[in-house]
Each structure stands twice: as structure tokens, then as C-alpha cells.
Amino acid sequence: MSGIEITQILPGILLGEGPHWMDDQQCLLFVDILKGDAHRYFLKTKRHQILHIEDAGSGDNVSIIIPIEGATDLFIVTVGRSLAVIHWSPSDPDNHTVKVKTVLHTVDAHLPNNRFNDGKCDPQGRLWAGTYACEKLSGEPVKHMGSLYCLDVDLTLTDRVNKVSVSNGLAWSLDKKTFYYNDSLAYSIDAFDYDDESSKICSRRTVLDYKTSGLQKDVPDGMCIDETGNLWVANFYGKKVICVDPKVGKIIHTVELPTQNVTSVCWGGEDYSTLFVTSAQTGLKTEELASQSAAGSIFAVNGLGVKGLPATNFRVNLQMLKNRINFED
């Protein structure tokens, strides 16, 4: 693809993940998982806020932050193995620490080494978020110990997929009939039939097999969908984002990035023509970090010739949420 412009908008993130564009404030949300921080970057003013979220009792990694629709300055977050709610206002100091206002659910109680990883809201505003297990000493993932959960708007939680190794990217087709999902250590992009009313999924199949598609060293990570129905997938270890046509299971575009460990993607900007990309310093050796000054940066990619769609916020039943927390705190 010609005419692509890649801009480094923020450096120095340890493990960037979970980008989410807030259209009403024209800002990018994302997290630094290992530091337990949420970030908010205002594109026009370049204001950069960092919010440290305290341990909610099941671990201190923060992997998701998504606005709660209709509730100003409230966000749903994953902290360790917990789904929780925080308050964060643009008027807060740019460097700030908060406790969670309430923990909605804590999962995988019998698996204390598990933590939440990637997550996103479906077209109905339900939150889907998955876990994985990490071996304490080596830091390596333990296969088949995680699950993919769905948090409904009435705050009920359902386990949708079991025996997940590293739960990662999620996207829904434009006709709301297909759910796309990445379990990173399956080395494939998979699809399920999806019922938008009930959130039930079935008939899992492979859209793109990494090993047979020339991506032997790459790991599928975060994912989003564009206005034409094509998938954009961050490739950890792969130094790139790929665009996949899921109808034919083929890679149709590749965007090379100046760092190896690319973690996630989302569409944003005034007209949703900017692809925001997160990356990580983790997983790189000392000499690799020395040669990759852009490792851990947040990038803005323009000139792709396609646009994305607005992200869905969490559409919780606000009365139920009010029963759980004090909005005035």
C-alpha cells in the first residue's frame, strides 16, 4: 500500500494494549498492562493523562478500559481477574491514582495465576473479555487454562469459550452474524456464528491459519474491523499489522511497523480513518530494545484508504449499576 503515514504519538509504554477511541472527547484510551495504568491521550491538544488503578484484590494488571454509556466519567476495567468500575474525569490531575468503585465479578478463583487480557463490547454493548494463565517463574503462558466471558447489560456473567490459552483479539461482522476471535497460541483467526440478541456463539472454524499463511513466527494479537468488513490484526513478534479478508481467508494488506511486538489496533480520529496501534517493550531482549527505539510506542497510521467504525461502549443497565455504587463518591 502506497501513501501510508506512520506517526509515533507516544513512546515508552511497557505493555500497551486495549486501544479504544472516545469520539465525544476525541481521545484515545489504552492501558499499560504490567504497570496497572490506564492512559488517555487527546489527539488535538496532545494532553496525556495517566491513571494508576489500585489492585482490586485479584491482581494488579489492568488490561481493558471502556467507557460506560450514559454515565459520565465512569469506565469498566479489568484488574487482575476482576471486572470493576472506576471514575476518571478529564479534570483529574494528569497523573492520578484511584481505587475501584466496585468489583462486579471476579473470575477463575481456582486459578490464581490467571488474569484478564483483551476485551471489547459487542454490537449490543455487552462486554466480552478473556483470561489466560501465566507461569509465575518463567512468565510463559500455560495452555488451555483461560476462558472467554461475556458480561451482559444486566451484569450477569457467562462463560462462552473454555480451554483458551491466551485470549486476545475480538471483532464482530458488519451484519452482526459472525464473531471473530484470536486465541493467540492457536495461531489462527477463528470465527463463530453469533446471535446478536442472545450473544450465543457456535460453529467455530478457522478464518486464517498462521502456520500455513507464511506467518510462522507471528502471534495473532488485538484485532478490529473496517467499514468493508475486513479484519486488521496486530502481529506480536511480527513487526506488523495485517489486513485479512475473512470471506476468503486471505491477507490482502500488510503494514510494517518499526518495532517487533505489535499488540493491538483500533480505528479513530475525526472520520475514523486513523488506525491506532499499540506495542510493547516486553518480550524483547536487551539488544533488541537497543535497536528498536520505537518499542512500546503508540502509533497513528493514516493513508490506508479505508475507514473504521465507532467502538461500542458498555451499555450496562444504569439502575442496576447505581445499586452497586454511589455515583456521588
**Could you tell me if residue 9 is left (phi over 0), alpha (psi between -120 and 50 degrees) or otherwise beta?**
alpha
Give phi and psi for 292, each to the nearest 5.
Answer: -120, 80
Active-site residue, from 152, 221, 226, 271? 221
Strand order in the sheet with 188-194: 167-172, 178-183, 188-194, 201-209
Instruction: Give CA angle at 33 (210, 172), nearest 5°.
Output: 50
CA–CA gap between residue 268 and residue 271 (Å, rounded): 7
Q: Are 282 and 295 in contact (CB under 8 A)?
A: no
**Burial class of residue 80 in the structure, from the number of CB atoms within 10 Å of its CB (0-12 exposed, 13-18 middle, 19+ buried):** buried
CA distance 123 to 317: 15
Whose cell is 494488506? That residue is 253
* Segment holding 289, helix H or strand E: helix 286-291
* Pairing mode of beta strands 95-98, 48-53: parallel
The answer to whether residue 175 is catalytic is no
Catalytic residues: 221
